[in-house]
Amino acid sequence: MSRHELSRKVTTCDVPTSVYPTNFQISGLNKKGPRYKHAGYLVDHPIIPHGISVALTGPAVFQFTAPSSPDRHRQALAIFKQTSLLDQSITSIPDSAVGPHLFEAIASFLDALGVPRGLEAVGYTKEDIPMLVEGTLPQRRVLDLAPGVGDVAGEDGREHLTKMLEASLKY
């Protein structure tokens, strides 16, 4: 299966994520902060391309959202592992462990694509996380759709975003 076919399958399995809102901060703050310049871009300024900024947090976000719909995340896991949903390696995973397995499968997939391995790989540190979270919080339209972030009464998502970004620092 080609990378393009795999990408289309993952998209069509409709796994809920809150990965999208953080990418604007990761890319935007790069110009003032880490000043990372992604290979292959012939520009005279720092750049973290959109897809890279989304991918950097992907493993942690999917791990976080897995409890909201273990079956849908198990489907994504089967796709990343290029196997059937009926395969014993997928069916034997308890719902509570789907997230960590999907984290590793996505991280391996991103490794094969040459994506930097976490936010630290593009120059962010633990000290940058509060700034990334604060910049993400105003994006309510997207955050409110994210299971475990926008659907928790009385919560703004700050704590969960912080945990996801911390888990995205290095993997």
pLDDT 10s digits, 99-129: 999 999 999 999 999 999 999 999 999 999 9
Residue 37 pairs in a beta bridge with 47
Query: What is the average pLDDT value for the chain, to the nearest integer?
Result: 87
- Residue ranges of the domains in the chain? 3-168
Tell whether the model's pLDDT for residue 153 goes beyond 60.
no
Kindly provide the b/e burial profile for residues 78-104, where b requires at least 16 CB atoms within 10 angstroms of the residue's own CB.
bbbbeeeeeeeebeebeeeebbebbbb
φ, ψ (nearest 5 deg) of residue 71:
-65, -40
Q: How far apart are CA 90 and CA 98, in angstroms?
A: 9
Write the pLDDT tens digit of every residue in 75-104.
999 999 999 999 999 999 999 999 999 999
Residue 24 DSSP SS3 = helix
Task: Say what percent of the chain tops pLDDT 70.
Answer: 85
**pLDDT tier, 33 (very low <50, low <70, confident <90, very high otherwise):** confident
Any residues with CB less than 8 A from the CB of 80 and at least 6 apart, and which? 6, 10, 102, 105, 106, 108, 109
For the entire predicted model, the pTM comes to 0.84
CATH of 3-168, one of 3.30.300.170, 1.10.10.10, 1.20.1090.10, 3.40.190.10: 1.20.1090.10
Q: What are phi and psi of 128, to 5 degrees?
A: -85, -15
Rg (CA), the chain: 16
Mean pLDDT of 3-22: 54
